[in-house]
Chain A
Amino acid sequence: MTLSTGHSAALDFAQPEPPDLSSGKYVKLWQGPQHPGITGNMSLELVLDGDTIVSCKTHVGYLHRGFEKLMERRSFIQNFTVVCRIAVPEPTFNEYLYSHAVEEISGIEVPERAIWLRTMNLELMRLASFLMWIGGQSGAFGQYTVPNWTLAYRDYVLDLFEEMTGARIYHMYIVPGGVRAGLPDGFEERAREIMKGAEKLLDQIERVMFNNVVFKARSKGLGIITPDMVDPYGIVGPNARACGLARDIRKDEPYLAYDRLDFETISGNEADAYGRAYLRLQETRQSINLIRQCLDHAPTDGPFQADMPNVLHWKVPAGETYVKAECTRGEYGYYMVTDGSEFVRRVHVRGPSYTHAIAVMERLAVGTNIADIAGLMVSLHTYPPEIER
């Protein structure tokens, strides 16, 4: 399928005129930050005409901790405890990308076993995050059975993390130079069992949620992203793949062990909320498949950590790099500039929600019903901490 992704002149991203609130025709409504229908701690400033939204403004910054500033005054190894806190549902991607950027600049080779363990860790993270997302999408449309199932099952995946890394949420497992530990005894069998259960759960969810007539009625036609929006709006990940673009960093520019894994980029052809949700369901299955492959191929012995300089005196040579990985929401990137000192000069974290939650959301929200805002928001899979960092 060929699609035009070029920039067309017809698309204009001019800010719409603010509606005249004093006319008494509109209602201004803040959705968030204290609102159960919002993803994380952010808020939408909505102007309504009846039930229809005429203007939407995203407000972020409620979780701003100034990570990029903090990292400039922490040594390289101290940074490592900070980075995973940037995104709570997927901390592993921060760990990996930070470690990868440092390794790339200082030329550290990561051992083979660590590469496989990292790949497995990232895929487990994708699985856990997708499970939570499916629950969120279902809950946003008022179906509370599926979130209970998926969140409970996500806990089993978190148990795997706990075995592997010692922590449920903030693993701090992928360190510069490798990983912190190998796999415990019996991990493989337990992981396979949980993968089996996850597949069964996904089948049930497909029956309960995706074949549900009301879910279809709510999500079909909601928040359509056309292919010519993708590049001008910087849309990445499942949101872009759902409208037919086969773009997956894992396939296009393979990192870690992804060039040795057998998988295909999934792309859909319905770019509405339903299409995106269904694509993510398939990606969840893909993640399960990839975890199985990692379990098959991962070497069980050998070093999992490269020789590292004394981290207390660690000076990384001057350099610059941009590394990226495919997280559940799309391209997650770390841009790092070093100047040869013990401290990093500049780190910029590129989160996919940056554009999804602000530019895309503000455009897609206009004209939708107030009832669909929560569903639309979740359907774009936005997560505020990676916007404001």
Chain B
Amino acid sequence: MNELLERLQRHFDVNNINVLKPGMTTLKIGKDSAEILIRELRDREGYTHLNFITCIDYIEDGIFTLVYMLHNYDSKHTLGVHVDIDREHEEMTSIHTLWAQAWTYQRELREMYGINFPGSPRLDEDFCLEGWDQIPPMRREFDTRVFSEERFGHREGRHSEVPRVHMKMELYPKRGGDEE
């Protein structure tokens, strides 16, 4: 395992190598060399299975972290490739030529985060949503609760509570929910 990481470090500018558990490692790589790294991992290192592609929204840092989860069936090792992209210029190289299901993930990311993958087939077709007219819903600045109440209304009589506050009121009613 370490040999692989050394090899990768020799050829690529990988950093933030993080061994999460036996059988799973994550590393970070720049946006431009990510596709070459992934191709290399697939063709040379035996990471032939793409588990998924997903995205984490770090709104406070202004970045999207794309996660490509690759699996090697021979060494039973999972490698997570993290790629940071700018939240404002959300664009990433498409890997739809490497795996057949990759374009589906990219289509989903396009819809849910608005990330562009130039060249990816059927990218702008509706995936889950239909007639969506807001900012992409999985972005953290999109408040789904507010949107839901505005768009779908609210039935009188229904209210939802924060469990912590509710339980405080239940358990310590006399003290007005004050625990101490």
A residues neighboring B (CB under 8 Å) = 5-7, 13-15, 60-61, 64, 66, 68-70, 72-73, 75, 77-78, 104, 231-234, 236, 247, 252-253, 312-313, 319-322, 324, 331, 333, 335, 337, 345-346, 348, 350, 354-355, 358-360, 363, 388
Contact of B101 with A by CB under 8 A = yes
Across the interface, which residues of A come within 8 angstroms of B90, CB to CB? none
Q: Is B126 at the interface (CB under 8 A from chain A)?
A: yes
Contact residues, B82-131 vs A (CB, 8 A): 96-101, 103-105, 121-122, 126-130
Please tell me which one of the listed residues A7, A236, A313 contacts residue B48 in the complex, with CB atoms under 8 A apart.
Answer: A7
Asked if A388 contacts B164 (CB within 8 A), the reply is no
Q: Are A231 and B48 in contact (CB under 8 A)?
A: yes
Compute how far the CA of A355 lies from the CA of B100 in the bound complex, rounded to whole angstroms.
8
Residues of B within 8 A of A313 (CB): 164
User: Given the complex, which residues of B lie within 8 Å of A6, measured CB to CB?
Assistant: 48
CB distance from B71 to the nearest CB of A (A): 9
Report the Cα distance A312→B67, complex, angstroms.
30
**C-alpha gap A389/B170 in the complex (Å):** 34
**B window 123-150: CB within 8 A of A:** 126-130, 137-138, 140, 142, 144-145
- Cβ-defined contact, A358 with B104, below 8 A: yes
Could you tell me if B144 and A231 are in contact, using CB atoms closer than 8 angstroms?
no
- Residues of chain B within 8 A (CB-CB) of A348 are 52, 54, 67
A–B complex contacts, Cβ < 8 Å, 5 sampled:
A7-B48, A61-B129, A322-B78, A360-B100, A388-B128
Q: Do B73 and A247 touch across chains, with their CB atoms under 8 A apart?
A: yes
Q: Is A346 in contact with B57, judged by CB distance below 8 angstroms?
A: yes
CB distance from A4 to the nearest CB of B (A): 11
Given A7-B42, A247-B73 in contact, is the A232-B20 Cβ separation under 8 Å? no
CB contacts (< 8 Å) of A319 on chain B: these are 20
Residues of A within 8 A of B100 (CB): 13, 232-234, 355, 359-360, 363
Q: In the complex where A335-B54, A335-B69, A354-B101 touch, is A77 in contact with B144 (Cβ < 8 A)?
A: no
Q: How far is the CA of A64 from the CA of B108 in the complex (A)?
A: 12
User: 1/0 contact trace for B35-66 toward A, CB 8 Å?
Assistant: 00000001100001111101011000000000
Residues of B within 8 A of A78 (CB): 163
Given A320-B26, A322-B69, answer yes or no on A64-B20 (Cβ-Cβ < 8 Å): no
Which residue of the partner chain, among B80, B122, B126, contacts A61 with CB atoms under 8 Å? B126
CB-CB nearest in chain A for B77: A253
Among the interface residues B76, B101, B121, B163, which one has the most CB atoms of the partner chain A within 10 A?
B101
Contacts of B122 in A (CB 8 A): 15
Min CB distance, A277 to chain B, in Å?
23
A61 touches B127 (CB 8 A): yes
B52 surroundings in chain A (CB, below 8 A): 333, 335, 348, 350, 354
Are the CB atoms of A321 and B24 closer together than 8 Å? Answer: yes
Residues of A within 8 A of B97 (CB): 13
A291 and B73 alpha carbons, distance in the complex (Å): 27
B23 within 8 A of A: yes
Report which of B67, B69, B104, B128 forms a contact with A359, defined as CB distance below 8 A: B104
B137 touches A66 (CB 8 A): yes
Question: Is B101 a contact of A69 with CB atoms below 8 Å?
Answer: no
The one of B51, B67, B121, B144 that contacts A66, using a Cβ cutoff of 8 Å: B144
Complex interface: chain B residues within 8 A of A247 (CB): 73
Taking a contact as CB atoms under 8 Å apart, the answer to whether A321 and B21 are in contact is yes
Chain B residue at smallest Cβ distance from A388? B128
Nearest A residue to B165 via CB reads A312
Q: A78 — nearest CB in chain B belongs to which residue? A: B163
- Look across to chain B and name the residue whose beta carbon is closest to the beta carbon of A231: B48
Interchain nearest-CB distance for B114 vs A (Å): 14
